[in-house]
Amino acid sequence: MRYETLSGIPVKEVYGPEDLAGWSPEVDLGRPGAYPFTRGIHATMYRGKLWTMRQFAGFGTAEDTNRRFHYLLAQGQTGLSVAFDMPTLMGYDSDHPRAQGEVGREGVAVDSLADMEILFQGIPLDRVSTSMTINAPANVLLAMYVAVAERQGVPPDRLRGTTQTDILKEYIAQKEWIVPPRPALRLVADMLVFGTRHLPQWNVVSVSGYHIREAGATAVQELAFTLADGIEYVKLGLAAGLDVDAFAPRLSFFFDVHSDFFEEIAKFRAARRMWARIMRERFGAQNPRSWWLRTHAQTAGVSLTAQQPLNNVARVALQALAAVLGGTQSLHTNSMDETYALPTEEAVMVALRTQQIIAYETGVASTVDPLGGAYFVEALTNQLEEAAWAYIERIDAMGGMVAAVEAGYPQREIADAAFRFQQQVERKERIIVGVNEFVVPEERPIPILRIPPEVERRQIERTRRVRAERDNTQVARRLEALRRAAAGNDNTMEHILECVRAYATLGEICGVLREVYGEYREPVVI
Amino acid sequence: MMARPLRILLAKPGLDGHDRGIKVVARALRDAGVEVIYTGLHQTPEMIASAAIQEDVDAVGLSILSGAHNVLFPRVVQLLREAGADDIVVFGGGIIPEDDIPGLEAAGIRKVFLPGTSLAEIVRWVQENVRPRGVTV
């Protein structure tokens, strides 16, 4: 066995005051709700308001997903979170040749406003908050959401929610992109400006470490690369002429919660402290809300095993507990069957109930930052912070995250870490229960969700009908206006909204952007 | 006479960007002495089949985590067959329900690796089941 964290930080047999030499409770810990927010961004934390329980859902057509949303809301879920399918994430319509076999499989297919209207049918958009896991075409999906709200009579300033919009993380890890990094960032800047003007309650960018971690990063790398991406978005907003305190409070974060219990707790605490310092000291933000690192967390999909899938319930519960002890604002718990397919309704319910058990039965939400001051947790928080700063300094020296990504630097670091981890598992230096130890030969099959192939056909039919029934002259005119804006300096968001209102499809809008900016091909790094 | 090293094309068909697994497998095969060519992401079956033929590989390893395997895996096999290269061994892995394996095998996928498979297992399978093409023993 290795006595070190998943990031490779050595773990001592016991910790005491000597491990906190130079550490000051006033400077490094502070009070909950006060700078540097190590103990949480709110003074009363979960006594004031529990975290939002937000299970990610989306599959098949908009009708299928709309039914799942109504079910989840009826089960006590407090926010919606939309998963889109691969073609949507890549900006292709369902009838594009590259979409073949992918439609509705890993999320819901959204090709036009017609789909978005069905997706939110019967859901009052002024009363729920909606998170959309969408990045490269986030501008188009946000425009569609605004347009659906208009049709419901809800003005944009009442909309609450998040578009992920973290395009840097896409080039680093998740790899669903449309255009190259620099024009993609210009589109994000347009969204930041639009959001600051019209959507005061919308989180335009959720800076996401989740996918970085899932791709193989360690906790230290996740922390460092995510904050380094956050720094880039702040620089972007400033370059677009926004006042830092006008948009920084609307940046949110998204972290993974893996199985190394104390390292994960320390990661959330270090992240808050580092971001507060970055915003106050590096960017001179004045508004305390600009200093807040508000975060959504999701349990580690990559930690789940296909072997003995019921064991995943225990893994998810412990990871969820770590996220709560770390002080997250919002949480998604994975379902036990996700190593096979998208979760079934029953598996999702067990995952949601896991959060409710932590919230209502364990008592851990009764006091703020219950592990604050623990020698081990504070020492680990310090060590994670120190290791993450070293990465951020390296990235700064490379000219920032865009340059680092173009050089393949984070991609290579992550691939190295993934390979190192796998080797440790192979050599049994890390035990994965049911995989390399405590293995059973026979396994009980668990039910899995099937997406019928007709989904693709039905979706394609709807999109073709939309194209046939809309005013195509108007669509062509609006797409042309978008093309001019994209090639020039006009804010593209207003034009995308016009395209969406005219039922231009996602593929058509992204097609214009592909023509203007070119498609991205990544330098292959093994 | 020393046999020439195996040449394997590793490919990500479809649109998902989950390349952690395939990259780890690429390194393990390289460490085992296999010549590995990795296509990068977002490949169509046509791109993969044509790369396999141009690169004159002995096997193609496919990875999909998006659920599109039932459509895209068999398509690669079919395209190789149409090009007269059906002696190229095709194998794959990813987030694949066990129930889908018989169908994939019937379509000509020689082996499907499920999540949790060890690298050693994959390397061993390749060494036992892939032979240099055009070399008669």
Q: With contacts defined as CB-CB under 8 Å, which chain A residues touch B68?
A: 86, 100-102, 105
- The 3-state DSSP composition of chain A as helix, strand, coil percent (nearest 5) reads 55, 10, 40
Cβ(A507)–Cβ(A93) under 8 Å?
A: yes
CB-nearest partner of B24 from A307, A339, A422: A422
- The residues of B whose Cβ lies within 8 A of any Cβ of A are 14-20, 23-24, 26-28, 30, 36, 38-42, 44, 66-68, 70-72, 95-99, 114-116, 118-120
Q: With contacts defined as CB-CB under 8 Å, which chain B residues touch A101?
A: 14, 68, 70-72
Read off the tokens for A161: 């929610």
Note whether B95 contacts A87, CB cutoff 8 Å: no
**Predicted confidence band at A339 (pLDDT cuts at 50, 70, 90)?**
confident
Report ipTM (2 d.p.). 0.90
Q: What are phi and psi of A380, to 5 degrees?
A: -65, -40
H helices present in A59-214, as ranges: 62-74, 86-89, 113-119, 138-152, 167-169, 181-198, 210-214
Q: What is the pLDDT of residue A196?
A: 96
Q: With contacts defined as CB-CB under 8 Å, which chain B residues touch A307?
A: 116
Contacts (Cβ under 8 Å, ≥6 apart) of A48: A42
Q: With contacts defined as CB-CB under 8 Å, which chain B residues touch A448?
A: 97, 99
pLDDT tens by residue, A9-47: 999 999 999 999 999 999 999 999 999 999 999 999 999
Spacing of C-alpha A222 from chain mean position: 12
Give the rounded percent of residues in chain A with a pLDDT score beyond 90.
90
Cβ(B7)–Cβ(A61) under 8 Å?
A: no
Note whether A522 contacts B40, CB cutoff 8 Å: yes
List the end-to-end C-alpha distance of chain A, in Å, as a whole number: 28
Give the nearest chain B residue to A428 (CA atoms). Answer: B118
Q: What is the pLDDT of residue A211?
A: 97
The predicted model gives B67-73 an average pLDDT of 94
Residue A77, pLDDT > 90, answer no
Average pLDDT score over chain A: 95
State the nearest Cα–Cα gap between B66 and chain A, in angstroms. Answer: 6
State the nearest Cα–Cα gap between A421 and chain B, in angstroms. Answer: 10
Mutate which: A100, A211, A221, vs B, most B CBs within 10 A: A100
State the nearest Cα–Cα gap between B17 and chain A, in angstroms. Answer: 5
Note whether B41 contacts A418, CB cutoff 8 Å: no
CB-nearest partner of B40 from A214, A423, A524: A524
pLDDT tens by residue, B114-133: 988 999 999 999 999 999 98
B/e letters for A22-45, b = 16+ CB within 10 Å, e = fewer, are eeeeeebbbbbbbbbbbbbbbeeb
Note whether B15 contacts A92, CB cutoff 8 Å: yes
pLDDT tens by residue, A154-187: 999 999 999 999 999 999 999 999 999 999 999 9
Residue reference for tokens 């959309």:
A132
Mutate which: B15, B41, B95, B114, vs A, most A CBs within 10 A: B15
Contacts (Cβ under 8 Å, ≥6 apart) of A60: A104, A108, A109, A451, A455
> Of A396, A388, A390, which Cα lies nearest the Cα of A267?
A388
**Predicted confidence band at B23 (pLDDT cuts at 50, 70, 90)?**
very high
CB-nearest partner of A106 from B39, B66, B115: B66
Note whether B23 contacts A89, CB cutoff 8 Å: no
Note whether B15 contacts A86, CB cutoff 8 Å: yes
pLDDT tens by residue, A186-201: 999 999 999 999 999 9
Residue type, A211: H
Q: Are strands B111-113 and A252-257 parallel, antiparallel or unpaired?
A: unpaired
CB-nearest partner of B15 from A98, A216, A342: A98
In chain A, the largest separation of any two C-alpha atoms, in whole Å, equals 74
Cβ(A284)–Cβ(A244) under 8 Å?
A: yes
Q: Hey, what's the torsion of the CAs at A169, A171, A174, A175, to 10 degrees? A: 150
Note whether B24 contacts A435, CB cutoff 8 Å: no
CB-nearest partner of B67 from A106, A339, A435: A106
Note whether B40 contacts A214, CB cutoff 8 Å: no
The predicted model gives B20-26 an average pLDDT of 96
Tell me the C-alpha distance between A446 and A458, whole Å. Answer: 28
**Predicted confidence band at B65 (pLDDT cuts at 50, 70, 90)?**
very high
Query: 0.90 exceeded by the pTM?
Result: yes
State the nearest Cα–Cα gap between A173 and chain B, in angstroms. Answer: 8
> Of A214, A210, A137, which Cα lies nearest the Cα of A178?
A137
**Predicted confidence band at B136 (pLDDT cuts at 50, 70, 90)?**
low
CB-nearest partner of B14 from A102, A174, A418: A102
Tell me the C-alpha distance between B57 and A248, whole Å. Answer: 51
Give the nearest chain B residue to A171 (CA atoms). Answer: B17
Note whether A524 contacts B68, CB cutoff 8 Å: no
Q: With contacts defined as CB-CB under 8 Å, which chain B residues touch A99?
A: 15
* DSSP code for A4: B
**Partners of A254 in the β-ladder:** A208, A296
**Partners of B90 in the β-ladder:** B60
CB-nearest partner of B120 from A426, A524, A526: A426
